[in-house]
Amino acid sequence: MYSILRKEFNAFLSSPVAYVVIGVFLVATGLFVWVFPDSSVLDYGYADLQTLFNTAPWIFLFLIPAITMRTFAEEKKAGTIELLLTRPLTDGQIIGGKYLACLLLALLALVPTLLYYYSVYQLGNPEGNIDSAATVGSYLGLGLLAAVFAAIGIFASAITRDQIIAFLVAVVGCFLVYTGFDSLASVFEGSTAYYISQLGIAAHYRDLSKGLIDSRDLLYFVSVIVAMLWATRLALRSRNW
C-alpha cells in the first residue's frame, strides 16, 4: 500500500494539481476570513475562525472530487488498470494507497490555515481570547469531512472511466451527504427531523465544531468512510471494463 501511496502522492506533486488545489483553497478561505466584509474576522469583532470552518466544507466539496476523479478513471481510460491489478497487491491495498494519497493532499491544504489561528490568537483582546477547544474540534471535524469526501470521490472514480463524470458524481454525492439530510429534515418536525439530520455529515460536523468530541460522531465518520471504501472494492471486483 505504501508504494501506491508514494506513487500517487508524488504524481500529485509533480503535476500542477497539488499546487492548484492548495492555492485555490487558501485564496478562497483567505478572502472569506480576511477580506469580504460580510464574513471578515477583522469586521466581525469577535476572535474566532467560524468563517473558515463554515466556508471550507463548501470549497472541499468541489476541490476534493477534483483530486480524486483521476484515481481509477484515468487508469481505466489509459488501459493501465489491468497492469495495476496484476501487481502483488490486494484490492484493499490499492484502494488504501490511492485514498490516503488524496486525503493527504487535502489535509496538506489545511496546514497553512494554522497561520489564521495564530493571527486571530494574537489579535484577540486580551491576546489569546479564542476558544481553542472549539478550534481543535473544528479542525478535527474538517479533517474527517475531507476523509469522507475523499472516500466518496474514490468510489465515484471507480465506477466510471470518464474523469468528468467521476467529478460530477462525487460532487453530487458529497453535496447530498453533507447537506441533503438537513434539507430533508426541515420537512419534518420533532424527533423525526432530528434522526434524519443525524444521517448527514453536517449535524456531526457542527457538534465537533463546538469542541464536543463525541465517540458517536467519530463512529459516524468512520462508518461512512469504511462503507464507501468497501463499495469501491466491490466496484473493482466487478471488473466490468
- Percent of the chain scored above 70 by pLDDT? 95
- Map grid coordinates 434539507 to a residue: 183
Residue 45 has pLDDT above 90, yes or no: no
User: Among positive and negative, which fits the CA dihedral 99, 150, 22, 81?
Assistant: positive
Strand ranges for the chain from DSSP E: none
Q: How open is the CA angle 56-194-218, to the nearest 5 degrees?
A: 50
Full DSSP string of 134-157 = HHHHHHHHHHHHHHHHHHHHHHHH
Helix/strand/coil for 49: coil
Question: Residue range 202-208: average pLDDT?
Answer: 86
Q: How far apart are CA 57 and CA 62, in angstroms?
A: 9
**What is the residue type of 117?**
Y
Which of 131, 124, 151, 127 is closest to 209 using CA atoms? 131
Q: In the prediction, which pLDDT does 70 show?
A: 87
Query: What would the grid cell of residue 201 be?
Result: 455529515
Residues 6+ apart with CB under 8 A from 68: 102, 150, 153, 154, 156, 157, 166, 170
Q: How far apart are CA 122 and CA 125, in angstroms?
A: 8
Residue 241 has pLDDT above 50, yes or no: no
* 204/44: higher pLDDT: 204
Q: How far apart are CA 106 and CA 200, in angstroms?
A: 21
Full DSSP string of 93-108 = HHHHHHHHHHHHHHHH
In Å, the largest CA–CA distance within the chain is: 62
Given pLDDT bands bounded at 50, 70 and 90, which one contains residue 169?
A: very high
Given pLDDT bands bounded at 50, 70 and 90, which one contains residue 240?
A: very low
Which phi and psi (to 5°) does residue 162 adopt?
Answer: -105, 120
Query: What would the grid cell of residue 29 be?
Result: 478561505
C-beta of residue 129 within 8 angstroms of C-beta of residue 47: yes
Residues of the domain holding 234: 2-238
- Map grid coordinates 478562497 to a residue: 28
Domains identified in the chain, total number = 1
For 88-97, write each residue's pLDDT tens digit.
Answer: 778 888 899 9
Query: What would the grid cell of residue 207 be?
Result: 457538534
Mean pLDDT (the chain, rounded):
86
C-beta of residue 211 within 8 angstroms of C-beta of residue 133: yes
pTM of the model: 0.91
